[in-house]
Structure formats: C-alpha cells, structure tokens
Chain A
C-alpha cells in the first residue's frame, strides 16, 4: 500500500499548491488504497444487499424455483392482507411501547441510586453491569427456566403470595410479557451505564445551588438533573426502540412465535418466511416494512425529542 515513488514526488512539491487544485495522484492513490479493503466489504455485504432486497421485494423469489419473475407490488399487497403481519406489527408495537420506557425507568432509577459513594457501591454496579455480558440466548434460557409453569422459581414466589400457578410462556396472554421482563433485565446494565455516565456529567454546583435556593430533592431532580439527562434519555429511547423493533433472539428460543402467534413479532415472522419457507421475495417486503417503521419512529423521536432535549454548549 505504500508507494515510495509517490512519497518522493509528494516531497518535491509544496503542500499549499496542491490544496487548491484536484487532489494529487499520490493522495488519490493512497486514499483509494486505504479505503478499498473496508469499502469492498461494506459495499458487498451492506450496501448492495439494500438494493438487492428492494428488488427482491418486487419479485416472486424462493429457493424452490430458479426463475424470479417480477410481480410488481404483489408482495406488498399480500402483506397488507396477511393477518399474521397485522398481529406481528401489533405485538412488536406493544412490546416496544412497554420495553423502551420500562428499561429507561429501571435504568434511571438504578443509576440515580448508584450515583453516590457508599459502601459496596462497586458490588451493586457490577451486578447491574453483569447483565450486559450475558448473550440474549443465555438470558432467554435462564428466564425460560425461571418462568417454567410447573417447576419455575417465579411460580413458587407467586405461590408464597397466594397467587395461583401461571402458565407464563405457554399462555397466549402472558407470553409476550414474560419476554418483556427478560429483555428489560438483559438491557438493565446498558441503561445503567448510559445514565450513570450522564449523571456524572451533571455539575454538582447546579444541584447544590438548587438545594440552597430551598428546592426539595425531588424538585431538584425533576427540574435540574432530569433536563440535564435529556440527551442521554433521547439516545437511549432511540437506541432501545431500534433494538425493540428488531426483537428476535428471545422469541426464537422461548416461544417460536407461539402460543397461537401471541409472540410473533415482525422479525420473527420475517425469519420464518425467509429461512423456514424460503419466500425471499415476501420476506424482503416484510423487511422493508420493518425498515419503514424504524425510520418513521426514530424520526418522530428525534423531532419530539429535540423539543425536550437540552444540550449544554
């Protein structure tokens, strides 16, 4: 990648002269030489597939037949009338609406509690951080066992409170909420890290000034700390939403979309169509619907968020 000849040529010319004209050949060369290996990977596996799957979404394409005729908007029309897509969108949205604020509240509460120098604080923090080191599959496997209807620990705790045995992941009405609980647990560490970092950026002088002015600690938190945390909150809201809309791993491991499609979320249905039934065309159309959802929802979040977000210059 080095070009000694080019380096020699470069040395012979003053730098200022080159800056005004087209980039010099040597700089062109090293620029492209540096960019090419990474760009090839990203273009081949990231950019080209975006176009390709857009084309596929207008084709009837599956592994069984070699021909992939264009069918216009048929995949999208089929999708609009597919009752499972409707359910999947509904489940995805319900899950996202509960997961994002749920994780943020848990994270904020724990971060505020942990943002002080008390004894054992590193033990508390490590316990929260440890959830980040667990893969979604390990997490789901433990929670399936915790929520086992017959022998699970959760039903045991409920029985101590006099609550009858629950079916949890076997119940169409409860399964999605069990997945909600396990994913909130799994993301707690991340939310705590983000909020703790943001809390440590809140200048003590501001909260002390509010206290001197006679503000209660709740008022100080509400009026001083919380607005200062708003950039972190916006970041978390967007980040968690994008991830929530792509929920898959836990569903795959725990319920496979069941019982009675109660946990079929968009990505699970997409996976099912693409790699169980090999309807690549239809699955691509679903993928683009998912993309549209992500784009629209994050755009709204940024638009609305900007109004409530205070950036310190």
Chain B
C-alpha cells in the first residue's frame, strides 16, 4: 500500500507519463480479477483433450460450443435456473410485502407486546443460521407431511417459506420508516385514511430507495444460498442453480469442459442481471456498510 500511496503524489510534481500511473496498478489487478472468468470461458469451449493438456492451451484451436448442449443433456440447467428464479422472485416479493407491513407497525403503530416482540425478532438477527438449521429442517419436514406438501422438504416451497420474511428486512424498513416525516401520515389520518391506505399511498412511495435495497440484497441472498437448499432438497427437479451445479460437479468431477460449460450457464444469468442493474446493486450493498457510519 505504501508504494501505491507514494506514487499517488508523483504525477502532480513531475508529469512524465501520458497516462495516470494508477493504470499500472489497476491493469494487473483487473487481469487477476477477471482471469477466473476468462479461463472458465476458454475451458468451456475446448475439447477434453485440450483441457487435459499441460502446459494448458490458452487459446483453443476451434471454438467448440458442443460442450454446452452436452452439459444441458447431462443436467437440467434450464430447470435449475427456473427454480432459482421462482425462489428468488417469490422471496423478494413476500419480503417486500411482509417486512413493509411489520416494519410499519413497529415504526408507527402502538400495540400491546410491541416492544417484546421486537426484541425477540432482533435476537434472531444475531444468531447464525447454523444454530437454527436443524430445527428448521424438522419443522419444514413436519409442515410438508402434515400441512402442505409443496412447502415441505424436497420442494422449492421449502426454500421460500422460511425466508418469506426476515428479521433483517423488518428491522431495516422499520429504521427507514422512522426517518420519514410523520406529518403526511398524520394529516392523512385526519382525513380518515386507514393505516393500510397510509402505508400503501404515503409511506411506501416515499420508501422506494429502501425497498429497492431490500429487494437487491434479498435477491442476491436467495440466488446464492447453498447450505439450506443442500439440506432441504434432494431431487434434481427441485434444485436451484448452486445446488444443481454442485450435484453436477459431483457426477462429472473430471470432465472439466462439461463442468465449465455448466458453470458458465449457471453464472451468466446473474452476471447479466448484475451488469444491467450494476448501479442499483452497488448502491444497495454500499448502503449496508454506510448504515454503520
């Protein structure tokens, strides 16, 4: 770091380089950061013989796209993608609804037991998932056999319901709602609006940045979740992308061209979404850090 900071002062004193010296740091750093992506793509279009060659063949002679259909025949990546998308979108939607309602109640409404309930919900924020996962597994299993099969073990419902509302979401929105000026709400109440109407017409429209942040963070969490799906899902038809990819790796552990083609297909959708909505994701993630400052 010292070397980097020292070079920072130099260009102001003597302008030698026609470009910022920071490029000399950033270009190698960027190459290291994208090397895994590049190698992933290169391997995914090689023949098995090219992949299993040392020294590695950095530029394949022919671009062989056949690995992709082969990977699709070996594992239903489209299905995994649909499952991941259904789980992520449903989880985001239900979090937005349920956490808005609960967050608003905690922020503005006075009801008996509010303080105690809030403390209990906050406690769950501190506890790591590993502490709760075994009972969560048992509860989900019970719900599936005794209540409703689609939310039980081995159904994607099991990936949605336990995360349908999160303590983080409730807390995050409550904090945000409390920063809003209360005057609008009070004048709406004088005009006779119901609480639900106030929430829908006044509070939520003022809260779009917070709602967007919660949506982005919930989406990323859901999309990348691995441990819970690993526990809850067994059958291929219900797997999400990370779980499906892990299973695929277990079944084809040495077929690197196939694995990398599958991996490209697994990560491409999220990478594209991320690039398209980069500002939105970056601002959301940055706001988690700035919340403490």
Contact = CB atoms under 8 A, between A and B. Distances in A.
B208 interface: no
Contact of A119 (B19, B162, B243): B19
B70 interface: no
A104 B290 CA distance: 16
B123 A197 contact: no
B166 A42 contact: yes
Q: Which of B55, B195, B227, B231 has the most CB of A within 10 A?
A: B195
Given A2-B197, A35-B101, A194-B286, A7 B192 contact: yes
A252 B170 contact: no
B260 to A, nearest CB: 7
B130 A138 contact: no
B102 A235 contact: no
B167 A130 contact: no
A150 B192 CA distance: 74
Most buried by A among B51, B56, B270: B56
Interface in A20-53: 22-23, 27-28, 30-32, 34-35, 37-39, 41-50, 52-53
Contacts of A53: 131-132, 134-135
B127 interface: yes
A81 B25 CA distance: 49
Contacts of B132: 45-46, 49-50, 53
A138 B263 contact: yes
A236 B289 contact: yes
Interface stretch (A70-78, A83-91, A169-177, A215-223): A215-223
Nearest to B253: A144
Contacts of A248: 226-227
B289 A217 contact: no
Given A124-B30, A284-B134, A31 B4 contact: no
B128 A113 contact: no
A15 B110 CA distance: 13
Interface of A: 1-4, 6-7, 10-11, 15, 22-23, 27-28, 30-32, 34-35, 37-39, 41-50, 52-53, 56, 105, 108-110, 112-114, 116, 118-120, 123-124, 126-139, 141-143, 145-146, 148, 150-153, 155-156, 159, 185, 188, 190, 193-194, 196-198, 201, 216-218, 221-222, 231-232, 234-236, 239, 242, 245-246, 248-249, 252-253, 267, 270-271, 274-275, 280, 283-284, 287-288, 290-291, 294-295, 311
Given A253-B246, A311-B293, A290 B130 contact: yes
A209 B114 CA distance: 50
Contacts of A132: 220, 274, 281, 285
B157 interface: no
A283 B134 contact: yes
Contacts of B36: 139, 142-143, 146, 185
Contacts of A131: 33
Contacts of A267: 130, 227
Contacts of B230: 252, 275
Contacts of A270: 130
B128 A124 contact: no
A47 B119 CA distance: 11
A246 B130 CA distance: 8
B121 A39 contact: yes
B62 interface: no
B202 interface: no
A31 B108 CA distance: 9
A27 B194 CA distance: 10
Contacts of B190: 15
A288 to B, nearest CB: 7
A178 to B, nearest CB: 13
B29 interface: yes
Contacts of A114: 26
Contacts of B106: 35
A151 B270 contact: no
List of 4 A-B pairs having minimum Cβ-Cβ separation, nearest first: A31-B111, A49-B135, A46-B124, A197-B286
B164 A41 contact: yes
Given A56-B134, A198-B289, A108 B161 contact: no
A153 B6 CA distance: 33
Contact of B293 (A127, A231, A280): A231
Contacts of B39: 142, 145-146, 153
